[in-house]
Amino acid sequence: MSNEHIEALTIAGHDSDGSAGMPADLHAFYARGVYGMGLLTAAVAGNSQGIFAQQLMPLDFIQKQFDVLNDDFKIKAVKTGMLANKDIIDVVAKNLKHYQMQNIVLDPVIITKHGATLLADDAYQAFLKKLVPLATIITPNFFEAQKLTGLELKNESEIKQGAKMLQKMGAKNVLIKGSHHNDRQPEVKDYLLLDDGSDEWLTKPYFKTDRVNGTGDTLSAVIAAELAKGNNVKTAVKIAKDFTYEALSHPINVGAKYGPINHLAAQEEMKQ
């Protein structure tokens, strides 16, 4: 079955090793049968051992990408990634509203899975005020959810409270990804709060591997792809959770250290 007419956009940085950022998003779009476009905000020089340099795109170049893509394509869903600073956040938010873009999956690239902060304070405030209210769904990792809510998220009750706080900030639906930093933990639990007030815990076994780069990008990108195809948020999130687990649990030997997850295995395991 051809889905060439279904188009989704990632607004993100390009990781030169192909493991995360825009490459991971485009891998995920393709694997779910959606035509993917990439609006470049930054380029990162990195490999499996680290990031060594980055170059931000000029604002007028980012603006031109918005203009030419919206002039030619029917974009059904948008996924955001690395936005880097306040000025880039401003131009992205302005264009999401101007072009009335729908099915916005906001992946907050604020804090890494290891707890390192990525946004300056003024950019963080712009993210809260200008992007969160536009989100069809926001998908913070555990550390990002702590930062966004100010809560420790030490138990299920606090996680539920945090998700409600994110809804009050403007996000229609919320997926708080569970912590996965303890090799002895048997499972990873994500919490989904929907705009109708219903909620669900999504659980997968913990899989120990150092092939984890692009995990969060892929999860959010698959959600965007499924929304573009017309699935509701709950279905999109469940498909994304299953896809990401399959990609994570079939490691591939690429790179010397923290390698990418395996989109090809996930595509095979989850035939559309």
Long-range contacts, stretch 55-62, CB < 8 angstroms, 24+ apart: 56/84, 56/85, 56/88, 57/88, 59/87, 59/88, 59/91, 62/88, 62/91, 62/92
Q: Lowest mean pLDDT: which of 1-5, 73-77, 137-141, 227-231?
A: 1-5
| Helical axes 142-149 vs 156-168, angle rounded to 10° | 60
Domains of the chain with CATH codes: 7-269 (3.40.1190.20)
What are the pLDDT digits (tens) for 110-144? 876 656 677 888 999 999 999 999 999 999 999 99
Among the listed residues 247, 228, 270, 269, the one whose alpha carbon sits nearest the alpha carbon of residue 19? 247
Please tell me whether residue 203 adopts helix, strand or coil conformation.
Answer: strand
Q: How far apart are the first and last CA of the chain?
A: 9
Q: Over the range 99-109, which residues count as b (16 or more CB within 10 Å of their CB) and which as e?
A: eebebbbbbbb
What is the token pair recorded at 239?
């498909």
**Residue 254 pLDDT grade (very low, low, confident, very high; cuts 50, 70, 90):** confident
Is the torsion defined by CA of 135, 141, 147, 153 positive or negative?
positive
Please tell me whether residue 42 adopts helix, strand or coil conformation.
Answer: strand
Q: Lowest mean pLDDT: which of 28-37, 56-65, 147-156, 253-262?
A: 253-262
Residue 14, strand partner residues? 21, 43
pTM of this structure: 0.94
Q: What is the pLDDT of residue 115?
A: 61
Mean pLDDT score, 39-60: 91
Rg of the chain in Å (alpha carbons): 17
Q: What is the pLDDT of residue 210?
A: 84
